[in-house]
């Protein structure tokens, strides 16, 4: 496929490029970047738009196999492309869970049928039960990039030690869903002023802080790469900051909702604000933004967690945890961090693309716009204002916590594996 | 005078002081009906009220039912064990079905906090929250406030102490929202494990020391201690709880001589309160039950938008 993108401002921090230029894509690869390029095939007039390395999501629930009524690899990939993503790490809490090679083989086969890059993660423990290690070496041969029992923390400290040791030998990232479930049991929102006011059972921040602290100590001992998923508290941020300062191999991600919404959002008992970890306080939001800015938190990840209306439209205590996020991630980041906080665009690209590519150890076709490499890039309109509406999602599910919000900044088109997508 | 403009009564959190006073004043007018030989007025004639109790209840349910009958409403009772909820029907569908029968008022108790708040905006019928999870129990708090008014003459500057499981108490929460708005001085007292997070930020005094809480209280409102909380490690034993937080003759010696003891019931005699105190001169527990009728009649009356004519004798 040939495509000429004319007149966009290219933001490519890895190659220190921040200028208006044309980008020519030939046979799916970046053929040339420069002024006044000419080429055969389609031409996109991208004047006023910005061209960036495509976004990479470290945390997507594609729900396949097992929960195809919520999402499939097909629909999830379309949602991701619409959101400007070119690659995502799939979470292993499927049904059956990704604890055996056959399931990973199946996901990889299905992923090949979609025009999107899926890097699967596998379970830390068999059946996600937190009792015995899964066959990580075999899963690695099948193609996983990380292990996680996401949705659950590995409560057994000895098993976690072994998991970190074993995974580090295989060069696998260990992604931790840091939540001591004994401390959070029965809760459905952050414990604090808001939970007291709303009469809802709380999830104490310490359930996350204590789990992060233990995992960091085990990472210190084992030397493994620990990645803290969806970090949400000021205290957990401080623990990661300290670990990084000490030179530990610890990385962290934060979701768009945790940097933009507080626990006061639950006022109307709307279950679209119920997720795990829960929305925290305004002070936590400030700490998370600061940490993302200074690099203590490496990147933004969506924790895209689709659920059917039937699972979501229930009483607060009974409703499923989780929100979708692929299609609104850039809009939130642009609105909150670029427009409101005036972050430089290179920093936006860093947290959405460069850092996740580095964490996964991906090649030059990701996280940058490099001549000769497969084109995985995104075209964005930073000034475009748009309302998040129920009918607009490509995802199979509609459980967004940003519904009816007006965002500024929108993905105009995505080139993934050299193919152009516009929604 | 303020008029009532709400479709629903979901909690005291969202009511203004004026609205609370309106309910309390309206209730005063209804007290006398229960003293008549014919205890019935036509105020709610032709109005259908559904009492949906998705959680076990005896006193609240019969209190509402009797209040509705004294106002001449037609009533239906649905208890969780007899409803199709047990067959897997969603709350929304159950309510939609009941609404399709053109019910005017739904009185609802549910184990999930926020259940009535989620339903009310979606249906035409008025919703009265008869207790949702650990969130609110507005009519009970209105009864407690009405009783304070009756016994103490005013609410402003009256010192009201709550003792017990504040964390899981919807009665305490509703009372706190209402009493603070009306200018009462509220203290909550219980073991630290049973005090809600950041409760001090809502204008109440917090203590774990019963002596201090009782010392200058005008009203002590006791909360039922649920025995199963011990298994969840909220306190080591009933014995230790009772030793530290029981209201008995000894502790009352340190209280004001005109203190009144309230309890929304059901009472665990010998645990949070001794029998001697339940049945003693300080106790206004049965007055609360009696006042419950007048307050619930007032709420039903205001929500169904009836005119004053309706409360005249037939």
pLDDT at residue B168 in the model: 95
pLDDT at residue A52 in the model: 98
Whether B197 and A202 lie within 8 Å, measured CB to CB: yes
pLDDT at residue B231 in the model: 83
> In this predicted model, what pLDDT tens digit does every residue of A83-101 receive, in sequence order?
999 999 999 999 999 999 9
Query: d(Cα B116, Cα B91) in Å, to the nearest integer?
Result: 10
Query: B202 — contact with chain A (CB < 8 Å)?
Result: yes
User: From the CA of A218, how many Å to the nearest CA of chain B?
Assistant: 29
Q: Percent of chain B at pLDDT above 70?
A: 94
Query: d(Cα B23, Cα B295) in Å, to the nearest integer?
Result: 7
Segment B144-149 shows an average pLDDT of: 98
Q: What is the ipTM of this complex?
A: 0.91
Whether A316 and B13 lie within 8 Å, measured CB to CB: no
Query: d(Cα A241, Cα A260) in Å, to the nearest integer?
Result: 21
Q: Is residue B312 very low, low, confident or very high in pLDDT (cuts 50, 70, 90)?
A: low
pLDDT at residue B82 in the model: 55
The tokens of B170 are what? 């919807």
> In this predicted model, what pLDDT tens digit does every residue of A160-218 receive, in sequence order?
999 999 999 999 999 999 999 999 999 999 999 999 999 999 999 999 999 999 999 99
Query: Looking up tokens 């030397």, which residue turns up?
Result: A223
Average pLDDT, chain B: 92
Residue A174 contacts residue A199 (beta carbons within 8 Å)? no
> In this predicted model, what pLDDT tens digit does every residue of A21-31 receive, in sequence order?
999 999 999 99
> In this predicted model, what pLDDT tens digit does every residue of B45-60 receive, in sequence order?
999 999 999 888 889 9
Give the chain B residue whose CA is nearest to the CA of A267: B114
Outline where DSSP puts E strands in chain B. 48-53, 74-79, 105-110, 126-132, 159-163, 185-189, 205-207, 219-222, 260-262
> In this predicted model, what pLDDT tens digit does every residue of A26-84 receive, in sequence order?
999 999 999 999 988 899 999 999 999 999 999 999 999 999 999 999 999 999 999 99
> In this predicted model, what pLDDT tens digit does every residue of B214-272 receive, in sequence order?
999 999 999 999 888 888 889 999 999 999 999 999 999 999 999 999 999 899 999 99
Does position B309 have pLDDT exceeding 80, yes or no? no
pLDDT at residue B240 in the model: 95
Q: Percent of chain A at pLDDT above 90?
A: 98
Segment A361-369 shows an average pLDDT of: 98
Average pLDDT, chain A: 97
pLDDT at residue B85 in the model: 59
Burial class (CB in 10 A: 0-12, 13-18, 19+), B266: exposed
Query: In Å, how far are A19, A360, A364 from A15, measured between CA atoms?
Result: 12, 19, 11
Query: Looking up tokens 């620990």, which residue turns up?
Result: A226
Does position B83 have pLDDT exceeding 70, yes or no? no
- Look at B178 and B99; give whichever has higher pLDDT: B178
pLDDT at residue B224 in the model: 92
Segment A377-393 shows an average pLDDT of: 97
Residue A317 contacts residue A308 (beta carbons within 8 Å)? no
Query: A316 — contact with chain B (CB < 8 Å)?
Result: yes
Cross-sheet strand order for the sheet of B159-163: B205-207, B185-189, B159-163, B219-222, B260-262
pLDDT at residue A280 in the model: 98
pLDDT at residue B93 in the model: 83
pLDDT at residue B171 in the model: 97
pLDDT at residue B91 in the model: 78
E strand or H helix at B185, and its extent?
strand B185-189
> In this predicted model, what pLDDT tens digit does every residue of B128-146 receive, in sequence order?
999 999 999 999 999 999 9
Which of B13, B117, B202 has the CB atom closest to A269's CB atom? B117
Residue A269 contacts residue A318 (beta carbons within 8 Å)? no
Query: A321 — contact with chain B (CB < 8 Å)?
Result: no
Q: Among the listed ranges A67-71, B24-28, B91-95, which one has the minimum average pLDDT value?
A: B91-95
Bridge pairing between strands A29-34 and A55-60: unpaired
The tokens of B150 are what? 């009756």
Query: In Å, how far are B52, B61, B178 from B168, measured between CA atoms?
Result: 22, 20, 18
Which of B13, B112, B198 has the CB atom closest to A193's CB atom? B198
Query: A196 — contact with chain B (CB < 8 Å)?
Result: yes
Most confident of B32-41, B151-160, B302-311: B151-160
């Amino acid at each position: 496929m040939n495509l000429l993108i004319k007149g966009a401002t290219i933001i490519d921090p890895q190659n220190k490029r921040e200028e208006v230029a044309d980008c020519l894509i030939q046979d799916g690869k970046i053929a040339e970047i420069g002024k006044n390029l000419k080429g055969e095939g389609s031409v996109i007039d991208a004047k006023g738009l910005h061209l960036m390395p495509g976004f990479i999501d470290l945390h997507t629930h594609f729900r396949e196999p097992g929960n195809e009524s919520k999402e499939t690899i097909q629909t999830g990939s379309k949602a991701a492309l619409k959101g400007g993503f070119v690659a995502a790490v799939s979470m292993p809490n499927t049904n059956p869970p990704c604890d055996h090679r056959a399931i990973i083989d199946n996901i990889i086969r299905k992923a090949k049928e979609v025009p999107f890059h899926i890097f699967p993660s596998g379970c830390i423990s068999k059946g996600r039960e937190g009792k015995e290690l899964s066959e990580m070496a075999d899963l690695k041969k099948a193609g996983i990039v990380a292990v996680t029992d996401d949705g659950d923390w590995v409560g057994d400290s000895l098993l976690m030690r072994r998991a970190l040791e074993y995974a580090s030998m295989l060069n696998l990232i260990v992604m931790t869903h840091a939540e001591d479930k004994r401390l959070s049991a029965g809760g459905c929102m952050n414990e604090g002023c808001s939970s007291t006011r709303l009469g809802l059972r709380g999830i104490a921040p310490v359930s996350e802080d204590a789990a992060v602290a233990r995992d960091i100590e085990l990472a210190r001992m084992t030397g493994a790469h620990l990645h803290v998923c969806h970090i949400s508290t000021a205290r957990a941020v401080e623990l990661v900051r300290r670990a990084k300062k000490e030179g530990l191999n610890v990385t962290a991600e934060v979701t768009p909702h945790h940097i933009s919404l507080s626990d006061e959002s639950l006022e109307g008992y709307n279950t679209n604000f119920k997720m795990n970890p829960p929305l925290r306080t305004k002070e936590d939001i400030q700490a998370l933004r600061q940490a993302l800015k200074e690099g203590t938190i490496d990147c933004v990840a969506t924790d895209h967690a689709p659920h059917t209306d039937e699972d979501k439209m229930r009483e607060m205590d009974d409703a499923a945890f989780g929100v979708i996020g692929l299609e609104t991630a850039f809009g939130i980041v642009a609105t909150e961090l670029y427009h409101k906080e005036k972050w430089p665009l290179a920093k936006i690209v860093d947290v959405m693309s460069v850092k996740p590519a580095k964490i996964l150890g991906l090649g030059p076709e990701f996280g940058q716009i490099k001549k000769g490499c497969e084109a995985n890039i995104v075209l964005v309109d930073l000034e475009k204002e748009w309302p998040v509406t129920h009918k607009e999602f490509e995802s199979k599910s509609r459980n967004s916590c940003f519904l009816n919000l007006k965002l500024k900044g929108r993905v105009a088109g995505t080139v993934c594996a050299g193919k152009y997508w516009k929604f | 005078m303020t008029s009532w403009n709400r479709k629903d009564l979901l909690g005291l959190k969202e009511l203004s002081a004026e609205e609370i006073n309106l309910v309390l004043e309206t209730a005063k007018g209804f007290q006398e009906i229960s003293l008549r030989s014919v205890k019935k007025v036509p105020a709610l004639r032709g109005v259908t009220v559904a009492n949906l109790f998705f959680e076990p209840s005896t006193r609240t349910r019969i209190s509402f039912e009797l209040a509705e009958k004294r106002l001449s409403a037609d009533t239906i009772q649905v208890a969780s064990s007899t409803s199709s909820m047990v067959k897997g029907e969603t709350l929304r569908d159950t309510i939609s079905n009941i609404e399709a029968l053109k019910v005017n008022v739904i009185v609802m108790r549910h184990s999930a906090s926020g259940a009535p708040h989620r339903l009310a905006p979606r249906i035409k019928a008025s919703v009265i929250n008869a207790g949702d999870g650990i969130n609110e129990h507005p009519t009970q708090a209105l009864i407690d406030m009405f009783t304070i008014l009756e016994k103490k003459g005013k609410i402003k500057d009256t010192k009201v102490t709550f003792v017990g499981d504040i964390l899981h108490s919807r009665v305490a929460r509703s009372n706190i929202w209402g009493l603070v708005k009306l200018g009462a001085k509220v203290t909550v007292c219980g073991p630290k494990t049973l005090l809600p997070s950041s409760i001090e930020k809502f204008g109440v005094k917090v203590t774990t020391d019963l002596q201090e809480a009782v010392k200058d209280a005008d009203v002590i409102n006791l909360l039922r201690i649920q025995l199963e909380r011990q298994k969840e490690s909220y306190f080591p034993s009933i014995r230790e709880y009772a030793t530290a937080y029981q209201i008995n003759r000894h502790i009352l010696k340190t209280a004001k001589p005109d203190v009144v003891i309230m309890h929304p019931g059901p009472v665990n005699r010998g645990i949070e309160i001794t029998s001697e105190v339940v049945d003693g001169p300080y106790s206004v527990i049965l007055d609360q039950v009696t006042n419950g009728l007048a307050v619930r009649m007032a709420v039903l009356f205001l929500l169904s938008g009836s005119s004053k004519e309706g409360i005249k004798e037939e």
